[in-house]
Chain A
């Protein structure tokens, strides 16, 4: 028994000594595990299998050694576990994981969508058509605002002019139709937001207060509030009834391109030329989240009609987000698109991007697959330099796409009716590394 006790004590002693030495050793030479130069020499000669065996040996050694667990716990086990991929596969392990993800992406098959084609050209404006809004209540008309300071209301089915609203003195840059009031709101470069009564067809209210041109306006879906923003880099919230400014949301560093209102927090989302997208908390009066993924001016925001997500676009960069927390959902395959001026999302999970070079690009919203590219057709009597899309929107059904262009025309696009995947195959699905960019 004594001898056993003695041997046990000895063992314990030895273990303690070992552990102590081990910890000393660890403290002294731990940096070597992360330092590259020391290991590179013999690591280069080993194959992956040999390296894996070495890694396993270390792991087993650690597992069998109880003393090491008790004394140097946090400092040792974690980094080695985390470094399995570089330990086995080498230094380009991160690359490997991206490739792995790309492989997964490749295995996904995006849904096929019928291609789009031009259906009708509507002329009537005397300037660039800067904004389009479709009636949200009934899908029977849409309104366009133009450089010629006028707002025109068009019949959706026939494309006939229904009404011309004049009142602004400069370009009309933004339009919004309320779902709960018979009102339409227009934002203009003359620093005004006007409220139009659609029953009397006159302007009934002016919202004064912006220091410079107003680029965009949107109606809050539940509150009697509109949000407008423009060149003075603030989002202003107005009470519709009293015309009084409620809040001024400051924070953007550049002119704001687009404001969008949502029923649930964040209730206002704005995108700016400084490349940021801000989600505003109305109750606190400040930004709750700032999305800085875009590196250039974010020109448009589009909300998905059936999903609580949105897409934003800057130059050659379209991304979709979960609205609730601003989580990035998809990077779209938008490398060669160029300057994107407008976005639109369909019920059918089609995302449309109109670019300044006059190109319409269609994406699958889920996967980010760029499935069709289309050049606009020049309206008769317009110049080659006037080929650019300034605004675009799907109608309520999502079957028609209406674009306003700098050749002063409005174009209506429809999907090819009897198209099948065989007759009209989409562009190739090739998820590349840039799509995984961050």
Chain B
């Protein structure tokens, strides 16, 4: 409450504190007494008129109801006139004196006069003390010139601020700011935890795992709205895709089954048809051949053969009208040989010079074009290489033709076409000898092959 009654008042004064005047101490004692003894309040008259109001206020300051009761709400018509001129004048004079005193004290220390710093020259007359009647000496006294900007040579002592004497000031407002208290929940809501970096930790804070997880989950939770939605979306898309796939799969399965069923039915139908046809045929043949009359059977057989013969003859008659090229083509066709058009026409002619003797090995080794070729003789030497992978042109038809020929031969009783099922090139038809013999007669064979061209 008062500086005199506080703990600091019991301590010795600070080292560099300004020495309190005895007058001041007396004042303080008086005020203390003043407060302790209310009765003697009016008897004391402090010496300093400046402190009158302050001390009087201190003495008066006991809390009363009127301190915080609004005056205008207790009594109506409170008039507070402005201070009179006389009052103002008096206050002005008093204050001016005090302030002037302070100001003059302050300003004296400050050297405002620039002339004062100038070097003054003073002359003094001195006489020797030993001979009082001797001649006078005049001495000039010159003030040493000092640098005005030189820093001060003495140390400035820091002074502790003097204790502030304050009037008794009871707190006249409600503390606790209107009964507004925060609950723990609200406090927690506003709590901002200290930031600890995940990367740097120079102070070595330890964040236990639980808190770390909590904080990280907190961070995740802040984005949870977005991520859960996207998760849902992707899940839904996945689901839809899977469903679509399943449906497509199912449909394909059903289609496949349907197709299978259809094919099975068709096969069945075909099988049945074939069966029926066979039955009918068998029945017919049986009927045809199983007639009671054997002569009629023979007659019928003869009739069939005659018919076939007639067809053959017709063909031959037609073939007789063919050109050589056509006949050759037909022959090649019937034998399954692919004879080029040029050969047929006769455009591809070999030189007819018989003088030239070829080394037969040239032919066998001609195929070896480079060193990487392992085998002496190419595997498909007899066929043109280009036509290895070419499908056989209507081999089926050729076979048929061959069959008919055989049939004809059979029917005619000739055994000539016994080997006709040999489907090799013409050049080898006769070459059923040993390898050596064949190499020797290669030329002859060639000539033989080429002979029909001439014809």
Interface positions of A (Cβ within 8 A of B)? 101, 104-105, 108, 222-223, 225, 237, 239, 242, 244-247, 250-251, 263-265, 267, 275-276, 281-284, 286-296, 306-309, 319-320, 322, 324, 327-331, 366-368, 435-438
Contact = CB atoms under 8 A, between A and B. Distances in A.
Contacts, number: 140
Interface stretch (B29-37, B99-107, B248-256, B271-279): B99-107
A59 B431 CA distance: 169
Given A250-B164, A290-B166, A264 B91 contact: yes
Contact of A329 (B50, B78, B165, B178): B78
A288 B53 contact: yes
B107 A437 contact: no
B210 to A, nearest CB: 41
Interface in B29-70: 49-51, 53-54, 57, 66-70
Given A250-B164, A284-B53, A244 B103 contact: yes
A295 B174 contact: yes
B225 interface: no
B169 interface: yes
A324 B72 CA distance: 16
Nearest to B88: A263
A197 to B, nearest CB: 21
Contacts of A291: 172
B94 A244 contact: no
Contacts of B106: 244-246
A303 to B, nearest CB: 10
A329 B71 contact: yes
B76 A108 contact: yes
A293 B166 contact: no
A404 B161 CA distance: 39
A352 to B, nearest CB: 19
Interface in B59-97: 66-74, 76, 78-83, 87-88, 91-92, 94-96
A239 B103 contact: yes
Contact of A322 (B50, B67, B71, B174): B71
25 contacts: A104-B73, A108-B76, A222-B88, A222-B91, A222-B92, A223-B99, A250-B164, A263-B88, A263-B91, A264-B88, A264-B91, A283-B50, A283-B95, A284-B50, A284-B51, A286-B164, A289-B169, A290-B166, A295-B173, A295-B177, A307-B79, A329-B72, A329-B78, A330-B71, A438-B69
B107 A244 contact: yes
A212 B281 CA distance: 129
A308 B99 contact: no
B51 A328 contact: no
B166 A331 contact: no
A293 B173 contact: yes
Given A292-B173, A308-B80, A329-B70, 17 more contacts: A244-B110, A245-B106, A250-B164, A264-B88, A281-B54, A284-B50, A289-B57, A289-B169, A293-B68, A293-B172, A295-B178, A307-B82, A308-B82, A327-B71, A330-B73, A368-B70, A435-B73
B164 A284 contact: no
A290 B169 contact: yes
B108 to A, nearest CB: 11
Interface string B162-203: 001111011111110110000000000000000000000000
Max count, chain A CB within 10 A of own CB: residue among B54, B72, B164, B172: B72
B98 interface: yes
Nearest to B99: A246
B166 A287 contact: yes
B161 A250 contact: yes
Contact of B171 (A281, A286, A287, A292): A292
A281 B165 CA distance: 12
A282 B99 contact: yes
Nearest to B169: A290
Given A223-B92, A264-B91, A328 B71 contact: yes
A275 to B, nearest CB: 7
Contacts of B68: 293, 328, 438
Contacts of A290: 166-167, 169
Contacts of A250: 161, 164
Contacts of B170: 292
Contact of B167 (A247, A287, A324, A328): A287
Interface string B205-222: 000000000000000000
Nearest to B77: A366
Given A288-B54, A293-B68, A328-B71, A307 B167 contact: no
Contacts of A283: 49-51, 94-95, 98
Nearest to B95: A282
Contacts of A329: 70-72, 78, 80
B54 A105 contact: no
Nearest to A296: B177
A267 B70 contact: no
A436 B73 contact: yes
Contacts of B83: 263-264, 308
A96 to B, nearest CB: 15
Contacts of A309: 80
A288 B91 CA distance: 15
A275 B57 contact: no
A291 B78 CA distance: 20
A287 B51 CA distance: 11
A368 B76 CA distance: 13
Most chain A CB within 10 A, of B57, B80, B88, B103, is at B80
Interface string B358-382: 0000000000000000000000000
A308 B81 contact: yes
B107 A242 contact: yes
Contact of B80 (A245, A295, A322): A322
